Structure formats: C-alpha cells, structure tokens
Amino acid sequence: MCQRHLTIARLRAWPWAVSAVTGLVVLLLAAVPALLVPVARGYQAVCAEYPPLAQLTNHLPPLPLALLLILAALALGNGARAGTVQLISTLRFNRTLRRQAAPLPLRLSAAGAALGLSNRLTYLEHALPAAFCYGLLRPQVAVTAGLLDRLDDEALAAVLAHERQHLRRRDPARYLAIHVLTAAAFMFPLAPALRQRLEARIELGADRAALAVAPRGALATALLAMLATPPMRVPGAAALTATEARIAQLAGRPVLPTIPAPAWVASLALAAIIAVATIDLAASADLVKMVCALCPDLP
C-alpha cells in the first residue's frame, strides 16, 4: 500500500480512535470519581467569585458537572485551536491571492459584468484550471487562466453563476464555521460525515443556481475541466467539492452523501456512555458525602 493510501486510512481511522479513547476515559472517571474532585473544587472556587454560576449545582451535583465541564472544555479547546489555525491560514491564503491578482481579461470582465460580478473578480495567471470563492467579510470570485482557456462562454457563465451563489451566501465563512464545529465535535465519528453532507448541500445549491442561467451541458463541461484541480484545503474558500453528488444531480438523480451506519452507532454509543456516567455520578449513594461537601453555600 502506498504512503498516500496509508495516510488516508489513518485519517479515516482517527475519529473512531478518538471516540473509543473518550469513551474509555469517561468510564474511568465514572469508576474512579475521586479523579473529578479537583475539577469540582476548582468550579466551587469559581462559584465563590461568581455566585450566579453556583445555580448550576441546583440541577446537577458537582461531580457529574465536573465530568461535563471536562468534555466541554475539550470540545471548546479543540474548536478554538482549529478555528485559530484555519483562520490564520485563510487570511494568509486570501492575502496571497490579492498579491497575485492580474488585470482581468476582457472576456472574463464581460462575463462577470453580465452576472453582476464586475467588482468581485480576481484573475490568476495560473495554468491549473480552478475557480473558487474566497474572502470572509467581502467574498471574491477567483478564476485562473488555465480554466478560462478551457471553457467556452456558456461554461464560463455556469462557473461564475455557481461561484456567485457561494458569494451571495458567504459560503467561505460558512465553510470555516462548519470546520470549527466539526473540530469541536471531534469525539463523535458522526461529525466528519455530517460535515461532508452539509458541504455537499452547499455545492448542490450553487449548482442549481448555475443551472438557472446556463444549460446542464455547460455546467458539466466546467465540472469536467476542474476535475484535475486538487481539492481546496483552506477552509474559507468555496471550491470544487462533493464531486460525486454534483455529477449525480446533473444526471437528474440528486443524492447526498450517505452517513455510514457505524458512525451513527459509535456516536450514539459514546453519547450513551456519557449520559450513563453522568447519571451514575449524580445518583450513587457512595458519592453523597463527597457531593455535599463540595456544594456551594447558596442563599
């Protein structure tokens, strides 16, 4: 097996490994609740400074609350980390595109003007055929020389209409948000599958917008021209994704990527483990004394 296939296999196995480890850690904390005491005491100290937070213990004792706080901190921490890294990458990517922008060819300028994109186009003198929407606050549509040379006027209009839909819906920002939420839900194998499905829905919606101004054949020509383009790896840029779903829609049988049953089973199993552990920590008679000792004094 080649190195690339090994890397892909490892990436696909990663969510399952994380889910299994998370489940084992939750079971360990439920079996040895003393490990949660430092977190509960830390929360008690915070409640002393901010009394409104103590109201949570009216509904959930400190130890199960400590478990949920640990899981929430892991989710928020990973989401914040991924969001920060990808936001920096996106801003650098956008800045590079602006530096590389060349004057618009007359043909591209005219096609953009016909679709109301006169001031929202970026032309890149790259041989690789590509078109994508980029930019978070004021999205732009980038088109490369390699793509422009391969498309006739109808196919070019289809590409620009597709990217115009991404621009109107601010899809670069939506893609970035989806990436962050997926990172926050890293414990659940369901998260990557849901992200793929959401991204496919966005792409299919942009294709339907393109079909409103161009024939199917033109959109199919544009899609084929960009199949050689590597997938856009920078969140915050809406580009060629969900290829199989897009081809199926052009063939008249729209279908979204399926969510594997094992992803549902593993995610629900982890949620069940967390719920059972939380209930067990809250209801165990052996923990009453420990819980009461940690309860903040409420008026």
Residues 6+ apart with CB under 8 A from 157: 111, 114, 115, 213, 214, 218
- 8-51 pLDDT, tens per residue? 344 455 666 777 788 788 888 778 888 888 887 787 777 777 77
The residue range of the domain holding 195 is 3-294
Tell me if the pTM is above 0.75.
Answer: yes
- 187-233 pLDDT, tens per residue? 999 999 899 889 889 999 999 999 999 999 998 888 888 776 665 55
Helices and strands: H and E segment counts in the chain: 12, 5
pLDDT surpasses 60 at 117: yes
Evaluate whether residue 151 is within a structural domain: yes
The average pLDDT across 256-285 equals 85
Q: Can you tell me whether residue 240 is helix, strand or coil?
A: coil
Evaluate whether residue 24 is within a structural domain: yes
Evaluate whether residue 158 is within a structural domain: yes
Q: Between 124 and 66, whose confidence is greater?
A: 124
The average pLDDT across 166-186 equals 93
pLDDT surpasses 60 at 299: no
Evaluate whether residue 277 is within a structural domain: yes
Evaluate whether residue 299 is within a structural domain: no
Q: How many structural domains comprise the chain?
A: 1
